[in-house]
Amino acid sequence: MRTCTGIKQDRCRGWIPIVALLWLLPAAIRTQPLSPELITELPPLLNEVSGLLRIGSDTWVILDSGNENALYRIAEENGDVLQQVTLSNATNVDWEAIVSDGTHVYVADVGNNAGSRTDLRIYRFPLAQLTSDVATIGVDTIRFRYEDQLDFAPAPDNTYWDCEALVAMEDSLFLFTKDWIDGHTQVYALPALPGDHVALRRTVFDVQGLVTDAAYDGATGKLALLGHDEGSTVPFLWVFSGFEDHRFFSREHVRHPIQAGPLQAEALAWTGPGEVYIGNEWAPGQAPALWVMAVPMGPFPGPASERVGHTFPIPADRYVHVEGADPAGRSRIYELNGALLAEAVVSGSGDIALPYLAPGEYVLELKVHSETCRIPLVISH
């Protein structure tokens, strides 16, 4: 699908870009709260879930410090452990993330609450080895240090170099730190190869809290960061999209509060274009559990100009006009989670008669100057 790069200035003079108007809407619309649904509680063995991996229909979890150097495949209907796979030549100092690039699986032993570790490492093994009958797998080891860390004096919960989040993309691994000092996340990159490496600092972003996991969806090009507010365990989810060349924070991004109350949410995995799984650790009054949560699809299907299209009225009711829309073309209306709601024909003048929609935010897909675009559609009656 080609991405709409905007409408020429001489064709839209006088109109206000819809994206600009969208940002004038109330914060409750811009940062839509998300509500997870409980799939199952997990057994006491899995009290300290720290990472999630989805391979086909299988769900794997890992546990953090003090637990076995093992992966666990669980039954989603009741949380039972179906399979345990030990990484034979690995140790679990503080496992915090598990990801795959489609070729290998990476287990990140990077938890570093005091910022004093000098043995940070990521274990790697071929994805093809993770079969239903295997019990033990040998691993390669990726050892690394942060390029800008010079002081290793212990500073519990007061360090820049704690980390619980990892993604694997192409030939690289990207670490998203859990920055206890200022609620930002630092991004470090290193090769996805065994050996000794220096993790290079790429950028920083103010996540307004502490990052506990990350997940990248190669199908949609979206990055999600899970975390919780500083001083509490009220969770949030950042979603980043439209970026290129690993510049994760350069394009569209939105922070969604998660309506789950205090929840020690530590593990995250995409299960589809508009859905994630979340795992939480045991905490007083909260059993370890697996959750599913719909994630808004957002207006843009990839890299896009800030000027995606021009429309009126905003908000719309029973019709909407899109300047430059291809006449007699078809449009589609989606919920933010990606569910298709309806289709409609674009008139010769660019008007689209809308079905009745409840007040809220949607996504309208159509062709503008022969390029397929997705633009925000806000309904109010």
In a domain, 3, yes or no: no
- Give the separation between CA 149 and CA 228, rounded to whole angstroms: 25
Q: What are phi and psi of 45, to 5 degrees?
A: -55, -30
> 233: which 2 tokens?
């365990």
If asked whether residues 111 and 189 sit together in one domain, one would say yes
Q: CATH number of the domain at 86, please.
A: 2.115.10.20
Q: How far is CA 231 from CA 93, 209, 235, 368, in A?
A: 25, 9, 11, 47
In a domain, 2, yes or no: no
Q: Which tens digits make up the pLDDT trace of 343-353? A: 999 998 889 99
- Give the separation between CA 171 and CA 114, rounded to whole angstroms: 30
Specify the pairing of strand 140-146 against strand 195-206.
Answer: parallel
- Give the separation between CA 218 and CA 54, rounded to whole angstroms: 13
- Give the separation between CA 325 and CA 260, rounded to whole angstroms: 41
> 134: which 2 tokens?
């295997």
If asked whether residues 204 and 310 sit together in one domain, one would say no
Q: What is the pLDDT along the chain (381 residues), one digit of tens a residue?
A: 333 333 233 323 233 333 333 333 333 334 678 999 999 999 999 999 999 999 999 999 999 999 999 999 999 999 999 999 999 999 999 999 999 999 999 999 999 999 999 999 999 999 999 999 999 999 999 999 999 999 999 999 999 999 999 999 999 999 999 999 999 999 999 999 999 999 999 999 999 999 999 999 998 889 999 999 988 889 999 999 888 889 999 987 888 899 987 899 999 999 988 899 999 999 998 999 999 999 876 554 433 334 445 788 989 999 999 888 889 888 989 887 667 889 999 998 889 999 999 988 888 888 888 877 778 888 988
Q: How far is CA 179 from CA 142, 263, 320, in A?
A: 22, 19, 44
If asked whether residues 272 and 354 sit together in one domain, one would say no
If asked whether residues 127 and 241 sit together in one domain, one would say yes
Q: Which tens digits make up the pLDDT trace of 321-373? A: 988 888 988 898 988 766 788 999 999 888 999 999 998 888 888 888 887 77
- Give the separation between CA 105 and CA 81, rounded to whole angstroms: 20
Q: CATH number of the domain at 307, please.
A: 2.60.40.1270
Q: Examine the fold and report which residue of 262, 294, 326 is the final residue of a domain before the chain moves on.
A: 294
- Residue-level pLDDT at 301: 45
What angle is formed at CA 224 by the lines to CA 286 and CA 311, rounded to 5 degrees? 120
Q: How far is CA 285 from CA 21, 207, 266, 281, 288, in A?
A: 43, 27, 16, 11, 10
- Sign for the CA dihedral angle at 150, 151, 155, 158 comes to negative
Q: Identity (one letter) of the amino acid at 119?
A: D
- Residue-level pLDDT at 337: 65
Q: Identity (one letter) of the amino acid at 4?
A: C
Q: Which tens digits make up the pLDDT trace of 131-170? A: 999 999 999 999 999 999 999 999 999 999 999 999 999 9
If asked whether residues 94 and 144 sit together in one domain, one would say yes
Q: Examine the fold and report which residue of 294, 315, 348 is the final residue of a domain before the chain moves on.
A: 294
If asked whether residues 17 and 83 sit together in one domain, one would say no
Is the Cβ–Cβ distance between 51 and 299 less than 8 Å? Answer: no
Pick from 200, 265, 191, 270: which is nearest to 233 by CA?
A: 265
If asked whether residues 270 and 345 sit together in one domain, one would say no
If asked whether residues 107 and 213 sit together in one domain, one would say yes
Specify the pairing of strand 136-137 against strand 81-87.
Answer: parallel
Q: pTM score, two decimals?
A: 0.77
In a domain, 237, yes or no: yes
Q: What are phi and psi of 44, to 5 degrees?
A: -55, -30
Q: What are phi and psi of 34, to 5 degrees?
A: -115, 145
Determine the structural domain holding residue 363 and report its residue range. Answer: 9-27+302-379
If asked whether residues 287 and 335 sit together in one domain, one would say no
Q: How many domains does the chain have?
A: 2
